[in-house]
Amino acid sequence: MKKWSLLLAVLSMGTSPILDEEDSHTLQAKEEVVVQKIDPDEILGEKAVSEIRRSYESGDYDVFLQEIEERYLKADAAGEVELLGAIRPGLSPELRKWEALGQKIQEERQDELLALVESSEERNLFLQKVLSAASDMTQDEKEALYTLSRFQQMAPGTGANQEENLLIAIDLEYEYKALHLGLPNASLIEKRTKQCVLKMDKLKTMESVAAQFQNEELKQIIQTYAKGFDARLAQSWDMADLNGLANGRKKPVNAVEEKVASILLIYQDKLSDLTQQFIEEEKP
């Protein structure tokens, strides 16, 4: 199943880390104000991510990140991280084809969402979220994201060179951390906030090692990826809110919300069908 979940992550250009409870009173005290300011259904992703970025850069999450780091180091010493890396499926020679098909489905979904916004005379918060979720990346950003998404599937040491192996190791490290955040009873907003923090910290680590790379092409890929990083987080934030309509977390309150939920469900099914096709073709 690991192989299929990774494919779906590539097709959907996103991930949904598993979360556990955080029990640090110091951490809660430092983060409480930040978290309470943000209601995921009542704030645009751009504003939410900007606020989280400001708190991250100010060191408000240092205790949280240190605790995650300590858990990771213990797990690494116990061989748990190695086991996680061992189940990575490796690259499928057909992945590029499937990624292109998935991207086409997403573009069709975005076009329908944009058409819905353009046909409405209103410009309320909900439609602003739809517009944000339907925004597109540049072609350079898409290529950078595709290149880096390959490392999510590769086992440690299987890169083309030492620099790729460093990025694979970083990806595995933060995959483990995302799977062990420690927040089972936390609110949705706290979970989402800390996911953003961890992603920001991963990017910072990637940029730090890439600064020393001799491979200028790989260095440029990371710079391109970083340039639109917060915008993609904001887009994911808003799309997560819209998906709440599709998965039943929130009930539509008007015809526009019902239409958005319908569009998202249709394209979720299309992505699911595409993943199933991949599974069937990749069976030994």
Does any domain span residue 206? yes
The alpha carbon of residue 25 and the mean position of all alpha carbons in its chain are separated, in whole angstroms, by 27
Distances (CA, A) of 156 to 164, 167, 269, 275: 10, 9, 33, 25
What average pLDDT score do residues 158-166 get? 97
Model pTM?
0.84
User: Which pLDDT score, from 0 to 100, does residue 185 have?
Assistant: 84
DSSP state of 50: H
71-107 pLDDT, tens digit each? 999 999 999 999 999 999 888 777 778 888 988 999 9
User: Which pLDDT score, from 0 to 100, does residue 270 have?
Assistant: 93
User: Which pLDDT score, from 0 to 100, does residue 97 have?
Assistant: 84
Does any domain span residue 98? no
In the chain, the number of structural domains is 1
Distance CA 180, CA 17 (A): 9
Does any domain span residue 13? no
Domain enclosing residue 246, as ranges: 20-91+105-282
Does any domain span residue 39? yes
